[in-house]
Structure 1
C-alpha cells in the first residue's frame, strides 16, 4: 500500500510517524518539530438516477393513508451519487502546507521521493517558524516584565508621594493647632482666666494635636477606635 511505502520512506530519513488518537490525526516529526499528514481520495459526483426500488418506495408512501402522520417520512432519493476514483492526494502540514497527487504523466506512487523531500522542507520551515515565534515570545515577555516592573515602581512612588503629602498636611495642621492652643493659653494667663476647666481643655487639645502629628507615635483611643455600632430597633 502507498501508505506503508510512504511511512518507510519517511522513517529512512529519520522521521517518525504516529497517530494522535485524541485528535484523530496522523503526525510526522523530526526532532522537536511535527506536522500533520493525511492521505485522501478524490471522490467523483454524478447526478443520481432514481432506481426502481426508490420509485416503488415513493409509490407506497403516496398510497399510504398515514403518509402525513407522525413517523412517516417521504422517501426522498439523494440528489447525487459519489464514486471513488482511486486518485489519492497526500497533504502535509497546516500552515505552511503542501499536497501531492497524480499528474498527467506521473502517478503519485512514483512521486513519493518528492513527498519525502517536501516533508523535510516543510519541517525545516516549521522549525524556523517555531524558533522565530519563540524568540518573539521571549522578547515580548521580557518587555512585559520590564513594563510591569516599572509600573509597579511608579505605583509605589506615587503611593509614597501621596503619603508624604498627607503627612506634611497633617503635620502642618498639628502645628497650626498647637499655635492656636498656645494663643488660647497666653490669652487666659494675661486675662487672669486660666481656670481648671481651661487647663483641662488645653491638655485635651494638645493630646489631639499630638495624635494628628505623624512625627509622634500616639493614637486617639476614641477617634482611632472602631465606630460604635447602633443596637438597632427594639421589638
Structure 2
C-alpha cells in the first residue's frame, strides 16, 4: 500500500476541511483510526454537529491549532487503494477476513446441493453408508469429516464441510490425518476441528425417569484446543455465512501456533546448549580432579618408594657397621631394591609376580 507523509498542521487543515466519512475513503483507516491519530498528535477535531451547521451556513466554533507538540511533527497515513475496503487499524482477523471476501475467485458460497464433491466428502458418504450410524465403527480407514449431527441434518453438514474444504484447498491448505483423527492442515500445523449439532436437555416427566437430549438443528463448529479453542454457532447468521471468517481464523491460528513452535524450538536449542555447556564444565572438572588425585597418589607412592630405599640403606649400613652382611641379607637387600624400583612411579620396573 502507498503512504503519504503529513505535518500536524497539514492534518489539522484536512480534518477541518473534510468530514471523517470522506477521509476514510481516501485513507485506509476507520473513523476510530483517524480519531486515534488526531488524539495521538494532539490535533483537535470538529464536534458532531459541525458539518451540519456548516452546510446550513450556521455559526460554528473552530478549535485553534496548537503548534507546540512534544513529539515528532511527522504523520504517515496509508492511502486507500481503489476498491480495497481493508483498514490497517483493524484486527488481523478482520483484515484477513476481508482479504478472503474481496477475492473474486474464492469459493465462498455454501450450496444447498453439492456439485463436484471433494474426495473427503465422497469418503464421508461412504463411511456413513458402511457404518450405518454406528459411532464406534472403526473398519473404515479413509479420511473423513468429523461430523456429529442427526440424520435429518447430515446433508446440510456435508454441504458446509464440502464448501469449507474447497475454500481451504483454494487457499493452499488441506486435511490431514494424525493418530487416526482428521485435522485441518495449514503450513505443517494440524488443527482440531469438529462440526456437531447442539442439543437441549428435556427434564424427565416421571419420578424415576431420565432426562432426554433433543437435537435442536443448531450447528456448532469448533476448531483448536485448550486456550486456542474457538467456536462458531448458528445465530442471526448461519455458519454457512461465516466461511471467510472461519478460514481467516484458521490461518491466523496456524500462524500463531507456528510462531509458538519456533519459539519452543529456539528455547529447546538454548536449553540443550546450556545443558551441554554445563555437562562439559562438569566433565572437565571431573577429569581435572581425577588427574590431580592421580598426581597426589603418585607423589605419595614416590615418597613411599624413597622411604623404602632409606630403610634398605639403613639396614645395609647397620650390617656393614656390625659386620653382619651375610649373603642372605645381601640377597634380601637386592630383592628390596628391586621392589622399590617397581613401586617408584618414576621407574616402574616390571615385576612378573606383582604386575600379574
Same-fold call, TM > 0.5?
A: yes
Q: Which residue of 1 aligns with 2:174?
A: 16
**2:232 counterpart of 1:100:** yes
TM-score by length of 2: 0.52
The one of 28, 37, 42 equivalent to 2:184 is: 28
CA offset at residue 185 of structure 1?
0.5
CA RMSD of superposed structures (Å): 1.9
**2:275 counterpart of 1:144:** yes
The one of 67, 76, 87 equivalent to 2:218 is: 87
CA offset at residue 40 of structure 1?
2.0
Structure 1 stretch displaced more, 29-38 or 109-118: 29-38
The one of 35, 39, 42 equivalent to 2:195 is: 39
CA 1:19–1:221 in 2, change beyond 3 Å: closer, same or farther? closer
Give the Cα–Cα distance (whole angstroms) in 1 for the partners of residues 180 and 231 of structure 2.
Answer: 19
Task: List structure 1 segments (4+ residues) > 4 angstroms apart after TM superposition.
Answer: none
TM-score by length of 1: 0.77
5+ residue gaps, structure 2: 1-158
**2:261 counterpart of 1:130:** yes
Secondary structure at the aligned position of 1:222 is classed as: helix
5+ residue gaps, structure 1: 51-76, 226-235
* CA offsets 1:132-152 (integer angstroms, 9 cap, x no match): 000101111111111122211
Give the Cα–Cα distance (whole angstroms) in 2 for the partners of residues 207 and 174 of structure 1.
Answer: 11
Aligned length: 197
Structure with more relative contact order (C-alpha pairs < 8 Å, separation 6 or more):
1
Whether contact under 8 Å (1:26, 1:38) holds in the other structure is: no
CA 1:80–1:138 in 2, change beyond 3 Å: closer, same or farther? same
Give the Cα–Cα distance (whole angstroms) in 1 for the partners of residues 245 and 338 of structure 2.
Answer: 93
* Structure with greater strand percent: 1
Give the Cα–Cα distance (whole angstroms) in 1 for the partners of residues 338 and 293 of structure 2.
Answer: 25
* CA offsets 1:159-209 (integer angstroms, 9 cap, x no match): 111111110100010011101111111111121111111111111111221
Structure 1 stretch displaced more, 111-120 or 36-45: 36-45
